[in-house]
Amino acid sequence: MGDCNKKTIGKLDIEESVTKIADICNDYRIIILPVKVRYLERIQQLPMIHGDLFDRLIMSTALEEGLLLITHDSNIRKYNIDLFW
């Protein structure tokens, strides 16, 4: 199976490693949420408007945690989800 992460497929333009990003988040008191079973279960309840599993995980996490999303993704805007922008 090939590597299909966002950086490899050209959808994420960053040079930092995951460890460096985690350190930066920690410096700014940004909490990295773990993937919980209930987020995965919520993915199954979402209509199949958006085919990107990672984006669907972000949406299900926001819905389960009552968080606002910041996005310019027009497919995410088609869901009944609270958006900041």
pLDDT tens digits along 6-22: 656 666 777 888 899 99
Looking at residue 25, the DSSP 8-state letter turns out to be H
Residues with Cβ within 8 Å of 16's Cβ and at least 6 positions away in sequence, in order, are 24
pLDDT tens digits along 50-62: 999 999 999 999 9
Segment 33-40 shows an average pLDDT of: 97
Amino acid identity of residue 75, one-letter, is N
Q: CA–CA separation, 85 vs 74, rounded Å?
A: 11
How is residue 55 written in tokens? 């984006």
Residues with Cβ within 8 Å of 78's Cβ and at least 6 positions away in sequence, in order, are 49, 50
What length does the chain have? 85
Amino acid identity of residue 72, one-letter, is H
Q: Where are the domains of the chain?
A: 18-78
pLDDT of 4: 55
pLDDT of 27: 97
* pTM as predicted: 0.76
